[in-house]
Amino acid sequence: MDHYGRSQGLSGTYIRSLFEDREGIVWAATNNGIDSLRDPNVTTFSVVEGLGADGAAGILAARDGTVWVANAVSLDHIGNGIVSSIHTGRGLPGSQVSSMLEDHAGNLWLGVDDAFYVLIE
């Protein structure tokens, strides 16, 4: 059994969620950022790389290769290694993204605070 922890490059002390994208990369949302695990390397994304907050609440890898990250102050997306954000008060219609889903048409459904929204592609 392989082990990935802080000494192997994991950004946090605990993992909130895991997701495998279509390329077989495992993404871990931790209390200090997100990590992509491509055997055997760990790549970390945190506020240093542009995330809105380190404590990622959830992660989704879309069919187009974009990785979406939910956290308490923004909805972040990573494409081609570049982090962009939609922040609370600047395009994000609430404060906490709690859930994400990509539907069959490529639309991104978001649970934000006490409502849900759709980003249409």
Dump pLDDT digits (tens) for 58-79.
Answer: 889 898 889 999 988 899 999 9
- Residue 121's CB is within 10 A of a number of other CB atoms, namely 12
Burial tier of 105 (Cβ tally within 10 Å: 0-12, 13-18, 19+): exposed
Q: Which pLDDT does position 77 carry in this prediction?
A: 92
Percent of the chain with pLDDT over 90: 21
Residue 57, pLDDT score: 84
- What are the residue boundaries of the structural domains of the chain, listed by start? 6-94
Phi and psi torsions of 7, nearest 5°: -70, -20
Instruction: Report phi then psi at 103, rounded to 5.
Output: -90, 180
Handedness of CA 59, 112, 50, 3 (dihedral sign): negative
CATH number of 6-94, picked from 3.40.1000, 2.60.40, 2.40.10, 1.10.287: 2.40.10
**How far is the C-alpha of 7 from the C-alpha of 121, rounded, in Å?**
40
